[in-house]
Amino acid sequence: MECFQRVSEIVELKKDLLVKVSDEIWKCAETKFEEFRSAEILCKALEEEGFTVKRGAAGIKTAFIGSYGKGEPIIAVLGEYDALHGLSQEGGIAEQKPIIPGGSGHGCGHNLLGTGAFAGAIAIRYYMEENNLPGTIRYYGCPAEEGGAGKVFMSREGVFNDVDCALTWHPDTGNGVGLNSTLAVYDACFKFKGKSAHAAMAPHLGRSALDAVELMNVGVNYLREHVIQEARIHYAITDAGGQSPNVVQAQAEDNFSIRAPKVSQVKDIYERICNIAKGAALMTGTKVEGSIQSALSNFIPNKILETMLYENLKKLGIPKYNENDRQFAKKIRDVLPEDNKRNDINVLTVGELKGKDISDVINPFIKQEKTVPVSTDVGDVSWIVPTGIFNVACAALGTPIHSWAFVSQGNTSIAHTGMLHAGKLIASTAVELLKNPELIQNAKAELKERLGGESYICPIPRDIKAPTPKKA
């Protein structure tokens, strides 16, 4: 228990710094690839704690790598710090009240995720120094998890190739670890080009791109019957060709998100959708160009790492929320829709949480592997290096992620308590790996077995570059 006690002491000693960093990022609320201030807050904090920081990792302006130590093993801690559009919200109140109408907010708690990972990294760093532990700890600053696939672009550039193990976490309404995979996803765009004409005087001279879009959508809807049950296909018409019904639309655009448990399954569905697009173009006398805009691989779970995280979570126990935390959690729950409270996955998984305001248990470790219907760019890292992930409660039970209520709690003591707890769990697990390199070898062997001879192939084509917005 000496390791757990010491890393916990280090995190508590750094508590004021960590809360300040998290709250500053919460205030910035910068969205994908525009996290200039948020990234710099973390870079400066890492440098002040003795890390060497490389900014602009993988050619992405808001990605960075902070390193401490030398030699092997190399342990990566993955941090995120991007926000979501349209979720601006005042903190610490139980009512929806935007700070900036239409502005951004941390509805997924990435201010906490990035800072909790930072807490873990600095606790590891001081423990290594105090105990002369060999090895390297790296904090990976990963931008644009929300719709930008930051880690996919980073994976494509090979920044994780020499890493031995990776650890990360996510804010949630419960405390748990599980052998869960995620859905792979392709985000694809189909642009149709036709020929404009007067819709009444000379319709025969026109070739409608909008007709092609509509026919494509009909074709994809018929396809749904003939794909695997676990697949998901969503679409949006992002360009209808104009506002005038008396003009034959010369251009129109369809965007699709295609999800399935394995990236190979998504690839197959995408190819079938491409054929539907070609058919729609043939039927309308138009031309179509389809391209992948973004893509994520499915997450490969690792039983060795997840079991370690679960056992260490049991040793650390649950986050210790105070009475003010519990009272505020009740206020939040009082304004949440009943459906949200009933359908919280933690309540559905752990019956004893029913009716409670905040989680006070560790969810059972479910060894039966399952695929959860979400997608994350952590999946791409997990194909390259054994990766462990866990959740810690940072919000009242029933709080939907990607909601104003999650943002409101994101700079409160509830969130800070969960964030610090996550840092302790990351640090204690990383130290155990550093002390027992055979565990890393076992985790690597498991990953190799799970992949069954498959190699990582980046799902984003090489010609698609990460956006490079100008610094504000």
**179 falls in which pLDDT band (50, 70, 90)?**
confident
**Taking 90 as the threshold, does the pLDDT of residue 471 lie above it?**
no
| Helix (H), strand (E) at residue 142 | strand 135-142
**Taking 90 as the threshold, does the pLDDT of residue 197 lie above it?**
yes
Residue-level pLDDT at 1: 62
Tens of pLDDT, residue by residue over 86-130, are 999 999 999 999 999 999 999 999 999 999 999 999 999 999 999
Q: Which residues contact 173 (CB under 8 A, 6 or more apart)?
A: 344, 346, 359, 393, 394, 395, 396, 397, 398, 399
Range 407-418 average pLDDT: 98
Own/partner long-range contacts of 218-227 (Cβ < 8 Å, ≥24 apart):
219/276, 219/279, 219/280, 220/256, 220/273, 220/276, 223/269, 223/272, 223/273, 223/276, 227/260, 227/269, 227/272
Residue-level pLDDT at 468: 84
Tens of pLDDT, residue by residue over 285-294, are 999 999 999 9
Q: Which residues contact 343 (CB under 8 A, 6 or more apart)?
A: none
**How far apart, in whole angstroms, are the C-alpha atoms of residue 185 and residue 377?**
10
> Among 69-78, 166-175, 349-358, where is mean pLDDT lowest?
349-358
How many residues would you count in the chain? 472
**How far apart, in whole angstroms, are the C-alpha atoms of residue 287 and residue 264?**
27
pTM for this prediction = 0.94
**470 falls in which pLDDT band (50, 70, 90)?**
confident
Confirm if 404 and 107 have CB atoms less than 8 A apart.
yes
Tens of pLDDT, residue by residue over 367-388, are 788 888 889 999 999 999 999 9
Confirm if 435 and 38 have CB atoms less than 8 A apart.
no
318-332 in b/e burial notation, b at 16+ Cβ within 10 A?
Answer: bbebeeebeebbeeb
Q: Strands of 297-437 (E only): list them.
A: 370-372, 387-393
Q: For all residues of the chain together, what is the average pLDDT?
A: 96
**Taking 60 as the threshold, does the pLDDT of residue 472 lie above it?**
no
Tens of pLDDT, residue by residue over 11-50, are 999 999 999 999 999 999 999 999 999 999 999 999 999 9
Dihedral sign, Cα of residue 323, residue 357, residue 11, residue 88: negative
Count the Cβ atoms, other than its own, within 10 Å of residue 180: 16
φ, ψ at 74 (rounded to 5°): -110, 120
Show me where the domains of the chain are located.
Answer: 2-180+298-451, 184-296
CATH number of 184-296: 3.30.70.360
| Helix (H), strand (E) at residue 258 | strand 251-260
Confirm if 78 and 117 have CB atoms less than 8 A apart.
yes
Tens of pLDDT, residue by residue over 43-71, are 999 999 999 999 999 999 999 999 999 99
CATH of 2-180+298-451, one of 3.40.50.20, 3.40.630.10, 2.40.160.60, 3.30.1490.100: 3.40.630.10
